[in-house]
Amino acid sequence: MRIHLIAVGQRMPAWVEAGYREYAGRMPPESSLHLIEVPPEKRGRKADLARIAEREAERLRAATPRGARIAALDARGRALDTPGLATCLSGWLQDGRDVALWVGGPEGLTDGARAAAEWLWSLSPLTFPHPLVRVLVAEQLYRASSIINHHPYHRD
């Protein structure tokens, strides 16, 4: 199974790329993590933000591998603790399908994008900058995989 972190945005600061690579590189081969960046729409003073979000959602869909389970990161989603994420990851591993984790742009995800997802995941009720979400997701997936594999990285 591969986990595809499909995120709107390109050209991230070096600290984001380094943080993401650090944790993605630690993932075990049976649940490898791969980043797919989709270009954001240009935003101007009088931009149609709803249309921009729709175009970005189309790009997320297009970048999603066929047959992958879609989980969208959204504030309206289910909040999990780390052991709960480990349980979820374990289920994904048993299922064997690839997983696509969608991270929308500044306007978030459209209703249609949320409806296309099998699961909505909320990292927190706090709002995080989109670049930081990449690092948080990679670290939490690594932490969840360490619980599954009885690795001492996660401590209660």
Confidence at 152, pLDDT banded by 50, 70, 90: confident
Q: Which domain does 111 fall in, by range? A: 3-41+49-149
User: Which residue numbers belong to the known binding site?
Assistant: 73, 104, 123-128
pLDDT at 92 over 90: yes
Evaluate whether residue 154 is within a structural domain: no
For residue 61, being part of any structural domain is answered with yes
Beta-sheet strand order (sheet of 69-79): 32-38, 2-8, 99-103, 69-79, 119-122
| 19: in domain | yes
SS3 5: strand
**Domain membership flag for residue 28:** yes
Where is the binding site for S-adenosyl-L-methionine, in residues? Answer: 73, 104, 123-128
Give pLDDT tens digits for 114-131.
Answer: 999 999 999 998 888 888
Residue 156 lies in a domain: no
Provide the number of structural domains found in the chain: 1
Q: What is the mean pLDDT of residues 36-43?
A: 92
pLDDT over 80 (residue 11): yes
What is the DSSP annotation of 17-56? Answer: HHHHHHHHHHS-GGGEEEEEEEPPPP--TT--HHHHHHHH
Tokens at 151, concatenated: 């690795």
**CATH (domain of 101):** 3.40.1280.10
